[in-house]
């Protein structure tokens, strides 16, 4: 598992699995005492142990396999394996590996723990041919003592704890295989990463697998292709192409963003995509982020393609003098930013190399901090409620790689805490995960099938105003330095569209739907009225399509409903043409409703305007 302990002994040696389904699991401590464990820790221990059992099974099937990292994760577990030359593991091999794991479980091997000093640990791993673990031990301090866990003939470096016996692993499944560089470094060897999932009971595993099936059905890449929203091309990996329908969706989202920001006193700016390296040195991004930045040479100087909008927003503020009466200044920007991501990490719209960030920067006095943060929280809450998202809040504090004084960091952190406390919002503290220039509040939203996504963020920054020498004149005519908030609602508009696509399974609400109405012609005899309906809807700025193909009406309905996922289908036959009416069919029902064209147009226009 490539985890280590120093001279300090581990507190727990193993986790006892209960005999009954409703009895909590318990930890057995070194002193012989026993204590119940919370469910999340139980799940982590089970997955931790499953990784060891999987590695043992692979070692039995592939004796020359060499093991690197193999942790439990929030989503399951994995092990990175160096396989003999010419040997590959694919999902076709999973049944054999799972069968061997079941044999190990049935053998009911005990997890034993012991500790060795550094030199003895290296000798043990060398003897067993574990070159990756030998390398890792070599990186440790000379006085380090390394903990090992053993079940049967399998020995692994690990901090533990584990289940006491392999028989306690009740429910598991291997889920995928991919490549992973040793130590995450692309200059190192590519290893095979085998992923799996494990739960306390088979019922929990079955529920998870059902959720994964639903997630697969909602995959935004598949739905995006079916609905012609966006495309990805080998000529631009990580650089998405938005197609006409995708742009309609994106623009509807942007229109909503502009409306609520104008209402709340924001102004909008646009700043250059390419700016001189010196700007990014001043902002601190060059020192802390340069490996993720694209650059070019212009006039014999290095220029950077912006990975963030904030330095441009700072320059807008700095361009003219400001009075305390102008503050707070709320400045928004829908800026296209570029960040270098490893090719293997790219994933649809969720992980890309360029995206539109719905940034805003608020410049304010110290006495306005809490009020402005509360205003941003209210705005983000409104946005997430609009789409039906629940969310939880996380406060991230100062990281090791940071800039600025202890006093400023303390003031910034207390400002965020104070605002959350005044709002009465529960939050968890994520120590050391703030931005390099300030602490932050992150919003983790929950979608319709229970998955969480980190989108909105509020970052309080004392450093950038200092670095750029920002000023305002106070009521006494004295120059003061403003405080700055960085914040986003959607985060990345592209990623948010991916999340919305999966949240709604492509069935967007009327105001957001790329195609709001599809006029479906039954036969050529009613085409004149169908055309008139189409033109009237188009004149009312409804996003409408006219399907007058020579196909059966049942086929047209199925495509509009199941593939295009159009909210409203208007069916035009001879009777509708004669009565000058429309037969309205809704996306999720087989029933139809007859109404006048004017009433239908009013209905769609109202729902769009009110963003119902």
**Which tokens hold the place of 529?**
């009225």
Examine the pLDDT at 107 and tell me if it is beyond 50: yes
Residue 477 falls in which region: left (phi positive, over 0), alpha (psi -120 to 50) or beta: left
Render pLDDT for 115-164 as a digit per residue (tens, 0 to 9): 888 889 999 999 998 999 999 888 877 777 888 999 999 999 888 788 88
Band (27; pLDDT cuts 50, 70, 90): low
Nearest in space to 279 (alpha carbons), one of 302, 298, 262:
302
pLDDT of residue 161: 81
Q: What is the mean pLDDT of residues 295-308?
A: 95
Asked if residue 133 lies in contact with residue 2, where contact means CB atoms within 8 angstroms, the answer is yes
Confidence band for 368, pLDDT divided at 50, 70 and 90: very high
Is the pLDDT assigned to residue 446 strictly greater than 50? yes
- Residue 11 has a pLDDT of 40
Lowest mean pLDDT among 52-56, 193-197, 412-416, 528-532: 412-416
Instruction: Quick: pLDDT tens for 563-574.
Output: 999 999 999 999
Of 500, 423, 10, which Cα lies nearest the Cα of 246?
A: 500
> Where does residue 466 rank: exposed (0-12), middle (13-18), buried (19+ CB within 10 A)?
middle
> Mapping DSSP to helix (H, G, I), strand (E, B) and coil, where does residue 86 land?
coil
Identify the pLDDT of residue 604: 97
pLDDT one-digit tens code per residue, 450-462: 888 989 999 888 8
Q: Inform me whether the pLDDT recorded for 232 exceeds 90.
A: yes
| Positions marked catalytic | 310, 339, 357, 359, 361, 440, 486
Top pLDDT among 346 and 253 is at 253
Among 327-336, 403-412, 508-517, 576-585, where is mean pLDDT lowest?
403-412
In sequence order, the 6+-apart residues with CB closer than 8 A to the CB of 174 are 54, 91, 94, 97, 98, 194, 195, 196
Residue 436 pLDDT greater than 70, yes or no:
yes
Q: Where are the alpha helices (DSSP H) in 160-243?
A: 202-217, 220-226
- CA nearest to 546, candidates 573, 527, 562, 525: 527
Q: Are the C-beta atoms of 424 and 459 separated by less than 8 Å? A: no
Higher pLDDT residue, 118 or 251?
A: 251
The SS3 assignment for 246 reads helix
Q: Which residues pair with 172 in a beta bridge?
A: 198
Residue 378 C-beta-side C-alpha neighbours within 13 Å:
12
Distance CA 489, CA 465 (A): 22
CA 535 to chain CA centroid, nearest Å: 41
Question: For a pLDDT cut of 70, what percent of the chain falls above it?
Answer: 94
pLDDT of residue 32: 61
Q: How far is CA 481 from CA 155, 409, 466, 468, in A?
A: 59, 15, 7, 10
pLDDT for position 329? 97
Q: What is the pLDDT of residue 532?
A: 97
Question: Which residue shows structure tokens 């492509």?
Answer: 506
CA angle, corner 479, sides to 475 and 483, nearest 5? 90
What value, to the nearest 5°, has the Cα angle with vertex 85 and ends 81 and 91? Answer: 50
What does the pLDDT average to over 393-419?
A: 86
Percent of the chain with pLDDT over 90: 70
Q: For position 9, what pLDDT does the model report?
A: 32
Pairing assessment for the beta strands 266-268 and 230-231 based on DSSP bridges: unpaired
CB of 452 closer than 8 Å to CB of 393: no
pTM exceeding 0.85? no
Indicate the pLDDT class of residue 34, thresholds 50, 70 and 90: low
Note the pLDDT of residue 266: 97
Q: How confident is the model at residue 520 (pLDDT cuts 50, 70, 90)?
A: very high
Predicted local distance difference test score (pLDDT) of residue 409:
86
Q: How confident is the model at residue 317 (pLDDT cuts 50, 70, 90)?
A: very high
* Average pLDDT for 99-111: 95
DSSP 108: T
Q: Residue 384 — pLDDT band, cuts 50, 70, 90?
A: very high
DSSP string, 533-567: HHHHHHHTT--EEEE--SS-HHHHHHIIIIIS--S
45-96 pLDDT per residue, tens = 899 999 999 999 999 999 999 999 999 998 899 999 999 988 999 999 999 9
């Amino acid at each position: 598992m490539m985890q280590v302990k120093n001279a300090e002994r581990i507190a727990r040696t193993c986790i006892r699995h209960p005999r009954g389904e409703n009895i909590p699991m318990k930890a057995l401590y070194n002193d012989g005492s026993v204590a119940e464990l919370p469910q999340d820790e139980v799940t982590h221990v089970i997955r931790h142990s499953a990784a060891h059992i999987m590695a043992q099974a692979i070692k039995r099937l592939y004796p020359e396999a060499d093991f690197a990292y193999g942790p439990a994760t929030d989503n399951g577990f994995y092990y990175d394996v160096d396989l003999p030359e010419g040997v590959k593991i694919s999902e076709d091999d999973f049944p054999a590996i799972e069968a061997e794991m079941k044999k190990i479980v049935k053998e009911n091997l005990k997890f034993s723990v012991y500790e060795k000093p550094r030199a003895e640990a290296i000798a043990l791993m060398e003897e067993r041919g574990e070159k990756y673990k030998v390398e890792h031990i070599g990186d440790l301090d000379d006085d380090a003592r390394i903990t090992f866990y053993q079940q049967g003939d399998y020995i692994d470096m690990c901090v533990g704890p584990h289940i006491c016996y392999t028989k306690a692993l009740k429910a598991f499944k291997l889920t995928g295989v991919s490549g992973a560089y040793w130590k995450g470094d692309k200059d190192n060897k590519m290893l095979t990463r085998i992923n799996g999932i494990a739960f306390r009971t088979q019922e929990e595993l079955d529920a998870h697998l059902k959720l994964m099936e639903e997630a697969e059905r909602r995959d935004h890449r598949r739905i995006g292709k079916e609905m012609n929203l966006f495309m990805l091309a080998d000529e631009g990996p990580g650089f998405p192409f938005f197609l006409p329908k995708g742009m309609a969706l994106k623009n509807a989202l942007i229109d909503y963003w502009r409306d609520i920001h104008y209402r709340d006193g924001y102004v909008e700016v646009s700043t250059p995509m390419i700016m001189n390296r010196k700007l990014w040195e001043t902002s601190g991004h060059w020192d802390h982020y340069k490996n993720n930045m694209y650059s070019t040479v212009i006039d014999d100087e290095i220029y950077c393609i912006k990975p963030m909008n904030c330095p441009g927003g700072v320059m807008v503020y700095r361009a003219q003098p400001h009075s305390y009466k102008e503050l707070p200044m709320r400045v928004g920007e829908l800026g296209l930013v570029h960040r270098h991501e490893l090719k293997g990490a790219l994933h649809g719209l969720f992980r890309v190399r360029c995206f539109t960030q719905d940034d805003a920067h608020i410049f304010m006095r110290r006495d306005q901090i809490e009020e402005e943060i509360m205003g941003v929280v209210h705005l983000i809450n409104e946005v997430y409620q609009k789409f039906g998202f629940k969310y939880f809040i996380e406060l991230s504090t100062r990281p090791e790689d940071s800039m600025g004084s202890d006093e400023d960091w303390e003031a910034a952190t207390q400002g965020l805490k104070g605002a959350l406390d005044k709002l009465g919002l529960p939050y968890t503290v994520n120590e050391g995960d703030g931005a390099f220039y300030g602490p932050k509040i992150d919003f983790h939203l929950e979608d319709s099938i229970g998955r969480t996504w980190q989108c909105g963020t509020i970052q309080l920054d004392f450093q950038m105003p200092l670095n750029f020498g920002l000023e305002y004149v106070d009521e006494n005519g004295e120059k003061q330095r403003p405080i700055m908030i960085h914040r986003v609602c959607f985060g990345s508009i592209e990623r948010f569209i991916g999340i919305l696509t999966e949240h709604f399974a492509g069935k967007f609400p009327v105001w957001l739907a790329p195609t709001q109405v599809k006029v479906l012609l039954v036969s050529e005899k009613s085409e004149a009225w169908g055309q008139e309906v189409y033109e009237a809807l188009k004149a009312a700025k409804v996003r409408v399509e006219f399907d007058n193909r020579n196909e059966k009406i049942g086929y047209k309905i199925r495509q509009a409903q199941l593939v295009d996922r159009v909210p409203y289908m208007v069916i035009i036959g001879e009777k509708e043409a004669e009565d000058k009416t429309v037969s309205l069919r809704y996306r999720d029902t087989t029933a139809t409703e007859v109404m006048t064209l004017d009433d239908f147009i009013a209905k769609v226009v109202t729902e769009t305007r009110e963003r119902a």
